Amino acid sequence: MITSLAACGGNAQSGASSSPTEAGKETESVGAEAEKTGAPADGVDIDLTAMSGTMVYSEVLNMQKTPEAYEGKVVKMSGPFNVTDYNGKTYFACIIADATACCSTGIEFDLKGDHSYPEDYPAPQTEITVVGVFNTYMEGKSRYLQLKDAEMIA
């Protein structure tokens, strides 16, 4: 069971206000092989900022379907910043929308080092660019996607 942020209605904020569990989209892992993505010079394995909207959304959906294929890869993505409070914990995510403008999904990120909210973070819905290592973790019975050791570069 894989869970990540997902929302609908053409408005990222609608899903952004939900907790990861509430807004989670469950998909089954089908066990794909790790893909050759080409490694750009800046060390980023998958640069979502250089892709079209359709490709970005498809890539993120594939990350949700086959996270094993992406584990350990350095991912760069941009989109509206999102904050979610759930069970006393605060989650930060970068949201992307699909080409039909009816859905949005996103990936949680965990910044490298010590940071406190709201001092070290931008206002919700601010356009951000994040680079981090793709990772999955278990919380309760659900598996979540995350960019760990992330850096907010814009």
Nearest approach, Cβ of residue 123 and other proteins (Å) = 25
Nearest approach, Cβ of residue 26 and other proteins (Å) = 5
Q: Applying CB under 8 A, which of residues 52, 116, 119, 141 lies at the interface with other proteins?
A: 52
Identify which of residues 78 and 152 has a Cβ nearer to other proteins in the complex: 78
Identify which of residues 7 and 152 has a Cβ nearer to other proteins in the complex: 7
Cα–Cα dist 48/57, whole Å: 9
CA-wise closest residue to 93 among 128, 58, 55, 69: 128
**What tokens appear for 146 in the block?**
């995350």
Identify which of residues 142 and 148 has a Cβ nearer to other proteins in the complex: 142
Residue 9 near other proteins by CB under 8 A: yes
Q: Are 4 and 25 spatial neighbours (Cβ–Cβ below 8 Å)? A: yes
Interstrand relation of 46-47 and 74-86 (parallel, antiparallel or unpaired): parallel
Q: In residues, how long is the chain? A: 154
Identify which of residues 31 and 113 has a Cβ nearer to other proteins in the complex: 31
Nearest approach, Cβ of residue 112 and other proteins (Å) = 27
Cα–Cα dist 65/92, whole Å: 21
Residue 57 near other proteins by CB under 8 A: yes
